[in-house]
Chain A
Amino acid sequence: KAGVTQTPRYLIKTRGQQVTLSCSPISGHRSVSWYQQTPGQGLQFLFEYFSETQRNKGNFPGRFSGRQFSNSRSEMNVSTLELGDSALYLCASSFRTSGSDTQYFGPGTRLTVL
C-alpha cells in the first residue's frame, strides 16, 4: 500500500510569491491534516480537511489556505510569501474514525523563501 506522497519535495521561492503544495493521502483515507515544522516553533497544526470540508484550523494568517478534492487529495496554498514561511510542510492522512486513529505522515515539502 502506497504511503502519503507530497509534491514537490523541495521548493525555492522569493518573497511576495505564492506557492501551492500537494498531498496525496493513503488510499481510503478521508482526512488530511497539514503541519508546518520549523526549528524554532516545532510542528504546528495548520488545518485539517475531511471529505472536502475544513474541520479544524490552526493559528495561522489568512495567507495560508487549503482545499481537498473529491478523491481526498489536498493542496495548501501560501500567498505573499515571507522569509518566515521557510519550513518543512508536512501532511498526514488518516481514516479519522476515532481519536486514536493513526495519522500517517508524508516526507514533507521543504520550502525555502529567499
Chain B
Amino acid sequence: TQLLEQSPQFLSIQEGENLTVYCNSSSVFSSLQWYRQEPGEGPVLLVTVVTGGEVKKLKRLTFQFGDARKDSSLHITAAQPGDTGLYLCAGVRGGTSYGKLTFGQGTILTVHP
C-alpha cells in the first residue's frame, strides 16, 4: 500500500517552463521532506516542511505543506536542465517512528535545453 501518492510520475518539459509536483496522502505526517536523487547517488534532502500551511522557498523551488499536513507540493519556476532528476517526497511520522521515512513513488523530471 502506497501511503504517499506522488504525481505526475514522469515530466518532460522545455527549459524555462514552470512545473508542479504533488504529493498526497490520507494520513497525517508530523513533517514532509522533499529529496532529489541523481543516477548512481542516494537521495539528497532539499527541504523539510513541518507546519501546516508552511511555504518554503529555495531559489527557484517553492515547497508547500497542506493545512491538514496530509499533502505537499513542489513548484519549480523557469526550469533548467540542471533540475533534471528524480524528485521524491517523504513523510515523517512522530513518536518513535522518526527514523522511518515513507516515500512517494517519485517524479522523474527531464528538462530539455
Tell whether A and B belong to one assembly: yes
Q: Contact mask B1-29 → A, CB, 8 Å, 1/0?
A: 01000000000000000000000000000
Interface residues of A in 75-114 (CB under 8 A from B): 90, 92, 94, 96, 98-108
7 other contacts beyond A4-B42, A35-B101, A43-B88, with CB at 8 A cut-off?
A: A42-B88, A50-B99, A96-B98, A100-B48, A102-B45, A102-B48, A107-B41
- Which residues of the partner chain A approach B50 to less than 8 Å between Cβ atoms? 99-100
Asked whether, in the complex, the Cβ of A33 is within 8 Å of the Cβ of B101, the reply is yes
In the complex, the chain A residue whose C-beta lies closest to that of B43 is A105
Q: Contact mask B72-113 → A, CB, 8 Å, 1/0?
A: 000000000000000010101110111111111110000000
User: Size range of the interface on B?
Assistant: 20 to 34
Asked whether, in the complex, the Cβ of A92 is within 8 Å of the Cβ of B42, the reply is yes
Asked whether, in the complex, the Cβ of A56 is within 8 Å of the Cβ of B99, the reply is yes
- Which residues of the partner chain B approach A107 to less than 8 Å between Cβ atoms? 40-42
Give chain B's interface residues, CB within 8 Å of chain A.
2, 30-31, 35, 40-45, 48, 50, 88, 90, 92-94, 96-106
**Cα-based distance from A44 to B41 in the complex (angstroms):** 16
Give chain A's interface residues, CB within 8 Å of chain B.
4, 31, 33, 35, 42-45, 48, 50, 55-56, 58, 90, 92, 94, 96, 98-108
In the complex, the chain A residue whose C-beta lies closest to that of B45 is A102
- Which residues of the partner chain A approach B30 to less than 8 Å between Cβ atoms? 99
**Cα-based distance from A101 to B50 in the complex (angstroms):** 11
- Which residues of the partner chain A approach B92 to less than 8 Å between Cβ atoms? 99-100
Known A-B contacts A100-B48, A107-B40; A45 and B31 likewise in contact (beta carbons under 8 Å) = no
**Cα-based distance from A56 to B35 in the complex (angstroms):** 21
- Which residues of the partner chain A approach B105 to less than 8 Å between Cβ atoms? 42
- Which residues of the partner chain A approach B88 to less than 8 Å between Cβ atoms? 42-43
Nearest CB in chain A: distance from B86 CB, A: 10
